[in-house]
Amino acid sequence: MDIKQLKFLIALDETRHFGQAAARCHITQPTLSMRLRSLEEELELPLVNRGQRFEGFTAPGERVLAWARTVLAAYDGLQAEAAACRGNLVGTLRLGVVPLSSFDPLALMQALHKQHPSLRFELSALSSEQILEQLASNRLDLGVSYLERLDAERFDSLALEETRMGLLYDQRFFSFGEKPLSWEALIELPLGMLTSGMHFRQSIDHNFHSRGLTPQPLLQTDAVHQLLQAVHGGLCCAVMPLDGGLDALTEHLRLQPIENAQTLAKLGLIMRRSAPRSALAEACFALYQ
């Protein structure tokens, strides 16, 4: 057994396709299949359900896959730790961020890249639940998520600034003057919103409902880019993080502050507490402490 076989197994899980997994690992499909069969023979367990195409993992395969992720994370952590001891950071920082957070990951990545040019980045937009699950299983190094109900025994956290809200609009279609907007004024506008299961939407609903208001959104979507496209096209306006930099995407977008508008829970950096600890995540924490 070697590290490459474990990488092949994880690539197959992530692509769910033999050919795509082989391409990701820069080998041929027959080589991938042969190396996985060798792993099965060594462990004396069937790991993969095979038909004309990939049909998933066996029950033992799922358990071995979880160990493979842990071993590979420990291997990558060892490499990163050794580099950190030499004063460098190497590898890939795997960062998960909740949609529409006020945290701008670009500033973090620029600061780290300037100090450590060999460092690479993998950025994912995930729900709070997905971030915690992937931190726990070592598929992420660092998460940016809401801190409410965070298990402090499993995760370390660092609170970030409060997320304030503003109204994003295209000035070619709307104009609101200079004063902050009230929630009562927003109810009269064509609004675009994320779907109700997302934390940022829940904070918006709370601000409306606590004032006895019921919004009737013109558009609901679970994709942030579609919401931005609708705003840019003049279809609607949208409540967004005030300090998220979204108004800088084009010359036409503006963010107007909203009175007494903030999310229900604080946002924070999160990393796992148990070993293997991520040297990359620890470096990120050091930047914000």
Task: Give dist(CA 247, CA 24) in Å, integer.
Answer: 36
Mean pLDDT of the chain: 89
Confidence of residue 180 (pLDDT cuts 50, 70, 90): very high
Report the pLDDT averaged over residues 163-181: 92
CA torsion angle 128 134 137 140 (round to 10): -120
Model pLDDT for residues 199-248, shown as the tens digit of each residue: 888 899 999 999 999 999 999 998 889 999 999 999 999 999 987 778 88
Under 8 Å between Cβ of 224 and 125:
yes
- Which pLDDT belongs to residue 213? 95
Which spans in the chain are helix H? 3-15, 18-24, 29-43, 59-85, 105-115, 128-136, 183-186, 199-209, 224-232, 279-288
State the pTM of this model.
0.67
| Residue 120: strand pairing partners | 92
Model pLDDT for residues 73-120, shown as the tens digit of each residue: 778 777 777 777 777 777 788 999 988 887 888 888 998 888 888 888
Task: Give dist(CA 182, CA 258) in Å, integer.
Answer: 6
